[in-house]
Amino acid sequence: MSPGGFSARRAKLAAEAAAHARAWGEHEEWVAAAEAREREQREEAARTAELQREAAVRREREQREAVARREREQREETARREREQREAAARREREQREEAARLEAERLAREKEERERPWPCERCSLNNAWNCAACEVCGAPRVAVAPPAGQWGCSSCTVFNSEAEAACTVCSTPRFRK
């Protein structure tokens, strides 16, 4: 082998080695870039997963709050309805009591008017007060008039009393003397 051939062979080998080194370097870069890409993808995936977790937690909290809000509103609505019903019942009761009191007062007034009606004397025609057993002018006794149905005449003051009364409502004389 000539010295020229030797050096040409060395140069060729060196060029090959340089090409190998370049190729190796490119390969290293490619691997590093691939690793970097992979790391970025992993980080991106982790970020996405974290965001999704946070969104899920937020959604769950919002749903819980919405349920709690609905329940509170329903409770308030129920309480409001019950209060209104109680108030309406109390109002009805009060109105019924007032109406009953009014009717009772009217009945008592009618009874009083009936009881305290003056009576005309048969002899002198004077109108005597209801509680006079005899005419104030001529002394004629109040004529016993047959009591209306369901009533009885007091033997003492002649007032008519309801059958329900055991004694005269005016002078307390018992209906049936013993």
- Please report how close the Cβ of residue 156 comes to Zn ion at its closest, in angstroms: 4
Residues 126 and 138 sit within 8 Å (Cβ to Cβ): yes
Q: Which is nearer to Zn ion, 84 or 116 (CB)?
A: 116
Give the chain's largest Cα–Cα span. 188
Residue 151 binds to Zn ion (criterion: CB under 5 A):
no
For residue 172, what are the CA distances in angstroms to 109, 115, 116, 139, 178? 19, 14, 15, 23, 14
Residues 117-136 that bind Zn ion (CB under 5 A): 121, 123-124, 126, 135
- Please report how close the Cβ of residue 134 comes to Zn ion at its closest, in angstroms: 8
- Please report how close the Cβ of residue 167 comes to Zn ion at its closest, in angstroms: 8
Which of 130, 153, 157, 160 touches Zn ion by CB under 5 A?
A: 157
Closest C-alpha to 177, from 151, 146, 154, 160: 154
Residues 83-122 that bind Zn ion (CB under 5 A): 121
Residue 168 binds to Zn ion (criterion: CB under 5 A):
yes
# of chain residues touching Zn ion (CB under 5 A): 15
Quick one: 168 exposed, middle or buried, by C-beta within 10 A (0-12, 13-18, 19+)?
Answer: buried
Q: Which is nearer to Zn ion, 119 or 170 (CB)?
A: 170
- Please report how close the Cβ of residue 125 comes to Zn ion at its closest, in angstroms: 7
Q: Which is nearer to Zn ion, 85 or 131 (CB)?
A: 131
What's the N-to-C CA distance of the chain in angstroms? Answer: 174
Residue 154 binds to Zn ion (criterion: CB under 5 A):
yes
Return d(Cα 171, Cα 130) in angstroms, integer.
Answer: 12
Return d(Cα 153, Cα 165) in angstroms, integer.
Answer: 11
List residues near Zn ion by CB under 5 A.
121, 123-124, 126, 135, 137-138, 140, 154, 156-157, 168, 170-171, 173
